[in-house]
Structure 1
Amino acid sequence: MSYFSRVSGHSYRANEHAGGAWNLAEQHIAPSFGLLAHAIETDRDARGNGHLAVARLSYDILGTVPVGVVEEVEVRVLRPGRTIELVEATLTHQDRAVVLARAWLMKGYDTSALRGSGLRPIPSPAEMPEWDPSAVWPGGFIASAEVRRAEERPGRAVYWVRTAVPLLDGEQVSPLARAAGLLDIANGMAVLVDPREVAFPNLDLTAHFFAEPAGEWVGFDTAVSIGPTGIGLTHSIIHDATGPIGAVSQSLTVRPGSGIG
């Protein structure tokens, strides 16, 4: 079974693998991020702009949504262009916006001779021990993820994530959309505080890519920070088998005295 099944042209149903971690009655937002990335790329290709690569994906989480309901996805071009575009996608349920996504699309140029990064590499999945995230987090999405992880200290970890669950039933999706459907897991893989005692859900996610993801594993080099007034940040450098390929940040609302449940 996949995370989503298409009901009609722009309508989808979330399946049990999309179950949430903070509240089992709600969806984990990660698969929806992948679905919106897929919708943006599908719209781009249908308009004949497949030569434009996704350089940034930003998501604002406007609400929660139950598992098993039908959702609608709408895509519109905010800033058209032959070399640069800004595209927006909205996920709605019962006429209520749940997630708003925006993507910058850019024309590619041959910079292979210039390729490099000052970001540090991380060990490969084969060099890290298996780790069961279900020991910390409940829900169908977490149970669907395979994780290899090495914790440096609370709030700091490197890890790799993959899943055998397809994003969309019976449809091919790009490596970018598949990776986008895993990015939101970062907020639970390097916890600074016990999620049973302190809630710290993220309000958003912004991902910048300087190379397109490749392969089934997505690597993370994650650091979590909490400030003195209930605001936190989960920041990750994203990797594939070639090395660093981008970065992801998530704003957290930190709530002592509440947690999973």
Structure 2
Amino acid sequence: MSDRGLPDPATLEADAPAYYRRTGPTTFRPTLRAQGAWQPGEQHMAALTGLLTSAVLQHEPGPELQPARLTFEILGLIPALETTVTVRTLRPGRTIELVGADAEVAGRPVVRARVWRLATVDTAEVAGGAGAPLPAPQELPPADPSRYWPGGFIASLDVRAERAPGEGRNRAWLRARPALVADEEVADLARLMGLVDAANGLGCRVDPRRWMFPNTDLTVHLHRLPTGDRLGLDTEQVVGPTGLGLTSSVLHDRHGPVGRAEQVLTVRRLPAATG
């Protein structure tokens, strides 16, 4: 164990079929597939986002209520250790409901999620305005983000992308090769929300070998539920002059746009890249 509470990555299960293995009713053990990119003993926020989303969807489910906004606050380093996920209804309602989900590691909160669920009605008659779909996955070339990013999570992805990272804009399709939780079926929304956080690395405008730009949050707004196993990203990144940045993405499935995602960044030069 490091002095920052991060485990030796050699202790993580390699070649696992999933990002997590369930160890109890509310506990999960991350595998090497969930390994983060910034620290080798850390969980990737994307994988944990999927796990929290799955927990929310299983909490008092009702087809009449649909997730509309999902916000994830990152409270610090996320060690790749057994993780406890708890869910509760914060604001019950028949048409508007707020659900909270929290992830803890070693008794310390690491991510706090809040999900607004809204009642569904038939608005097909007036639906529109979402914008054009992305090029189909087969129309974009295969990409290997492991050339720029370390970590088991990044290595687990099937990626097709228009550009290499570093230009500040990208269009890409992602698919997770492993399951989210071993031997468990999860909803398409949970599987795809487990990919959104990767937008920050695919659409970056600075070299991740010289700069750090971790996000402190992830907020997703949806106008319809995504389906399938591929997430499309139309992403751009802005870096301001005082160490703050913003990664903004339009999210797609094969049928077109489904919503938007925003990530606030803290940008700083890596110590080895100074001078």
Tell me, yes or no, if the aligned pair for 1:117 and 1:244 is still in contact at 8 Å.
no
Q: Which amino acid aligns with 1:79?
A: R
The change in CA–CA distance for 1:77 and 1:259 in structure 2 (over 3 A counts) is: farther
Give the Cα separation in 1 of the matches to 2:65 and 2:267: 37
> Residue 124 of structure 2 is aligned with which of 91, 100, 112?
112
Give the Cα separation in 1 of the matches to 2:272 and 2:71: 26
Matches within 5 A, 1:1-12: 1-12=17-28
Matched, 1:219 2:219: no
Q: Which blocks of at least 5 consecutive residues in structure 1 are unaligned?
A: none
- Residue of structure 1 in register with 2:107 after alignment: 95
Aligned-pair CA distance for 1:120: 3.5
After the TM superposition, which parts of structure 1 deviate over 4 Å for at least 4 consecutive aligned residues?
none
The change in CA–CA distance for 1:220 and 1:259 in structure 2 (over 3 A counts) is: farther
Matched, 1:25 2:41: yes
When the two chains are superposed, the root-mean-square deviation of aligned CA atoms in Å is: 1.5
Matches within 5 A, 1:144-223: 144-151=156-163, 154-223=167-236
Q: Which amino acid aligns with 1:33?
A: T
Tell me, yes or no, if the aligned pair for 2:130 and 2:258 is still in contact at 8 Å.
no
Aligned-pair CA distance for 1:64: 1.6
> Residue 56 of structure 2 is aligned with which of 31, 40, 45?
40
Which range is displaced more, 58-67 or 245-254?
58-67
Matched, 1:75 2:91: no
Q: Which amino acid aligns with 2:34?
A: A
Give the Cα separation in 2 of the matches to 1:159 and 1:258: 30
1:111-156 Cα offsets, whole Å, 9 max, x none, are 1222212534321101100000111101000000011100298101
Tell me, yes or no, if the aligned pair for 2:130 and 2:257 is still in contact at 8 Å.
no
Matches within 5 A, 1:223-242: 223-242=236-255
Tell me, yes or no, if the aligned pair for 1:44 and 1:50 is still in contact at 8 Å.
no
- Residue of structure 1 in register with 2:6 after alignment: none
* TM-score normalised by structure 2 residue count: 0.90
> Residue 137 of structure 2 is aligned with which of 103, 120, 125?
125
The change in CA–CA distance for 1:240 and 1:118 in structure 2 (over 3 A counts) is: closer
1:31-58 Cα offsets, whole Å, 9 max, x none, are 100100111111132xxx3421111100
Aligned-pair CA distance for 1:259: 7.5
Tell me, yes or no, if the aligned pair for 2:160 and 2:173 is still in contact at 8 Å.
yes
Tell me, yes or no, if the aligned pair for 2:86 and 2:101 is still in contact at 8 Å.
yes
Percentage of matched positions with identical amino acids:
45
Tell me, yes or no, if the aligned pair for 2:188 and 2:227 is still in contact at 8 Å.
yes
Q: Which amino acid aligns with 2:50?
A: G
Tell me, yes or no, if the aligned pair for 1:199 and 1:258 is still in contact at 8 Å.
no
Give the count of matched residue pairs.
256
Aligned-pair CA distance for 1:220: 0.4
Q: Secondary structure at the match of 1:170?
A: coil
Aligned-pair CA distance for 1:23: 1.2
Aligned-pair CA distance for 1:257: 3.4
- Residue of structure 1 in register with 2:10 after alignment: none
Give the Cα separation in 2 of the matches to 1:8 and 1:71: 10
Matched, 1:257 2:273: no
- Residue of structure 2 in register with 1:59 after alignment: 72
Aligned-pair CA distance for 1:73: 0.8
Aligned-pair CA distance for 1:252: 0.2
* TM-score normalised by structure 1 residue count: 0.95
Q: Secondary structure at the match of 2:54?
A: helix
Give the Cα separation in 1 of the matches to 2:238 and 2:68: 25
